[in-house]
Amino acid sequence: MADHTISRRRLLSTAGATGLALGAAGSAAGYAVASSGSSDGSGGAGAALTTLGADEVMFHGKHQPGITTPVQSRGHLVAFDLAAGSGRKEAAALLRRWSTAAGQLMAGKPVDGAGPDTDIARDAGPSALTVTFGFGHSFFGRTGLEKQRPAALDPLPDFSSDHLDKARSNGDLWVQIGANDPLVAFHALRALQRLARPAAKVRWQMNGFNRSPGATARPMTTRNLMGQIDGTNNPQPSDDDFNQRIFVPGRPDGTDPLWMADGSYVVVRRIRMLLDDWEELSTRAQEEVIGRRKSDGAPLTGGTETTEMELEKTVRDGRSGRDELVVPLNAHARISRPDQNGGAAMLRRPFSYHDGFDAKGEPDAGLLFVCWQANPLQGFVPVQRKLDRGDALSAFIRHEASGLFAVPGGAAAGEYVGQRLLEG
């Protein structure tokens, strides 16, 4: 392998920046895709695009892939409902089939057991493909495992900004697929859909995208469809408290069932951006809504993207003669900061989406918000409640679908995801 090609070890040790509720400071996407060089946007040359196909992520491990993996350029989020007559036995067989296929797909191999391979990804390498599996609240009733349902999986509270489509929310099973090649991602999607038959059927599917690795001169935090640098304050794997914020302890203390050891909880929201309204604002007005400069993501109080925001800094208003806060009280970045929410934090790892135009000719586009935390009542919920009460960004977004899923820890070699739950 050429010297500039990313090794498997290098890929697995690289932590990107990805990620909100549209959520924390600056926010709606967060880990920057970084195939080489620094993952914090501080520098380093990006990988040549021709190397992307060789990137491989391991399926087996302590945690499932697709959580701390650098965010990919293409994603599919899919929810399934178990078919009538399918229960615990059928669910276990399905998770075994899916886990075997995910390991093959992530290694760049054809899938066994789903009929002849479709050859969609025949000429491509793994392309950093990841497949992640989770269980919804309704899964436990369908399989007779109600006593094993975590309390953290209780339905999310209602928020005043919600305009939720129930048909595109929740589900028994959830699958996240990410890859740096669209054909590789679609190949995995089709394989898993085919393997689901006859045990489960698709409830809803959402397709997203991010900037491709190597598209910028250096790795950097990505931008969302509003043009904002997004995800600056995402937790980093190098933080001392990262694991306790994002993952269930390896030895749960009773708050979570034993089968959730080393797992996480994911909140999924389809957040439509009202782009026609947003783009009518001046750049300065957009920056005041967010609380950060659009050009480089730095706080309005000055510095660089990673400079601490000075929440009490004021400036004299020339017209009124009064001192005004530089970062408005209702600025998104101010309201969503962990220190403004009792330390609540989540790992945001979203995809943008564009699903054409509505009947009014307005773009149906926005954010497939995906956030990870050890407990949603200590991560997503307090932040979203605060945003719900007065975030300036609320006038330009609409939450249209929602889901909460328990994502168990990774599978060891020879095991399948969820085996401790389904065979425990």
3-state secondary structure of 220: coil
- 364 as an active site residue: the answer is no
| CA distances to 189, 191, 192, 337, 361 from 186, in Å | 5, 9, 10, 36, 28
Of the candidates 128, 122, 28, 125, the residue with the CA atom closest to the CA atom of residue 73 = 128
H or E stretch including 335? helix 332-335
- C-alpha to C-alpha distance for 309 and 290, rounded to whole angstroms: 12
Positive or negative: CA dihedral 35, 40, 44, 45: positive
Q: What one-letter code names the amino acid at 256? A: D
Q: Which residues lie closer than 8 Å to 279 by C-beta, 6 or more apart?
A: none
Cα 115 from Cα 183, distance rounded (Å): 19
Helix (H/G/I), strand (E/B), else coil: 75: strand
Q: Give CA–CA dist 407/152, Å, rounded.
A: 12
Alpha-carbon distance of 245 to 378, in angstroms, equals 9
Which has the closest alpha carbon to 95: 408, 404, 349? Answer: 408
Q: Rounding to the nearest 10 degrees, give the CA dihedral for residues 294, 298, 301, 306.
A: 160
Task: Say which residues have a Cβ less than 8 Å from residue 256's Cβ, sequence separation at least 6.
Answer: 150, 152, 248, 249, 263
Evaluate whether 234 touches 347 at the Cβ level (below 8 Å). yes
**Cα separation, 99 vs 418, whole angstroms:** 10
Q: Which amino acid is at 235?
A: P
* Whether 283 contacts 292, CB under 8 Å: no
Catalytic choice (55, 230, 388, 391)? 230
Name which of 64, 205, 81 is nearest 143 in CA terms. 81
H-only helix segments in 16-164: 88-106, 137-142
3-state secondary structure 221-233: CCECCCCCECCCC
Q: Please give the positions annotated as active site.
A: 230
